[in-house]
Amino acid sequence: MTVVEWDPRLETGIDVIDAQHRRLFEAINDLADSFKSGQALEKSRDSLAFLAQYSVEHFQTEERFMRSMNYPDLASHRVEHVRLVSKLQTLQVKQDKGYLVTADVAMFVADWLSHHIQEADMGYVRFTKAIGKR
């Protein structure tokens, strides 16, 4: 099940970040797919674990990038990252306790990521252009 498709309007023009965003979209779709499988619990646990871990890695990449150019909105941007990571980690804990994580989690993350890219991420893209880094 594809819950989210890559949209060229989400391109930041920064290769490493676009590649990671695309990989996150794949991970979200994998999570959505996992619920249909015969081993739904096991697969959704693996998919959620990957999504949570890859989100951390991706956010670290972005935060390093923002820090490298003294981006003034880094702190508020980081708050958004921390919130999503904590939400995903809470879901992992719940899942370990037997709570059934369902496809609406994949829809939520898809929606969150699309909005985050278009609003927060595009903020640092504009900044790189404004300071002549791109």
Segment 83-122, which members bind Fe ion (CB under 5 A)? 121
CB 71 within 8 A of CB 118: no
- CB of 40 vs Fe ion, minimal distance in Å: 30
By C-beta, is 45 or 78 nearer to Fe ion?
78
Closest to 133 (Cα-Cα) out of 10, 30, 13, 40: 13
CA distances from 42 to 5, 23, 34 (A): 25, 21, 8
Given the rule CB under 5 A, which of 13-21, 22-30, 39-47, 60-68 is the region that contacts Fe ion? Answer: 60-68
- CB of 120 vs Fe ion, minimal distance in Å: 5
Which run of H or of E encompasses 65? Answer: helix 40-68
By C-beta, is 101 or 113 nearer to Fe ion?
113
* Tokens found for residue 119: 């609003």
CB 11 within 8 A of CB 118: no
- CB of 42 vs Fe ion, minimal distance in Å: 30
Is residue 33 near Fe ion by the rule CB under 5 A? no
By CB under 5 A, name the one of 4, 35, 62, 92 that touches Fe ion: 62
Write out the residues near Fe ion by the rule CB under 5 A. 62, 121
